Amino acid sequence: MKRFAIAALFAISSAGSALALDAHYSKDTTGSAADAWAAIGDFCGIQNWHPALEKCELSSKDGKTLRTLHLKGGGTVLEELVEQNDETMTQTYIILDGVLPVANYKSTLKVVAKGDGATYDWSGHFDAKKGVADDESLKTMNGVYAAGVDALVAKTSK
């Protein structure tokens, strides 16, 4: 009986926990991979192509590279660069704080060479912020990725 009670308690507590979410958006550009990477390789260069951003401020703390994104219409997002690799054209970052409805967020934006062009690929793994429904968090981040990648394609396509 004791085993049954422990198993039932575990099942009930596990059922209430949210699963991590994944968002993803990719799109081809007719621009070269080098041009595509040049658009995103600068960690604060996002202010030059993402339509939701007013400005980006670069800073550092304890040897870590940070950026503060100021959103059009108000609000900020503080992000930390985890890894940038110019050879593989990947940039990985985490969100430390901000208005987006996510927690435990880690994302990678990359460029993949494809013939004479390239593919932008933006993906993220996160939890919904406490009090936010999973589908709302997913919808928001998919929208962020789509708006950004679509703007990059428009900027770099020949």
Say what the pTM is: 0.86
C-alpha 57/C-alpha 34 separation (Å) is 24
Amino acid at 19: L
C-alpha 96/C-alpha 124 separation (Å) is 14
Superfamily, domain 19-156: START domain (3.30.530.20)
In tens digits, the chain (158 residues) has pLDDT values of 444 433 333 333 333 345 799 999 999 999 999 999 999 999 999 999 999 999 999 999 999 999 999 999 999 999 999 999 999 999 999 999 999 999 999 999 999 999 999 999 999 999 999 999 999 999 999 999 999 999 999 999 98
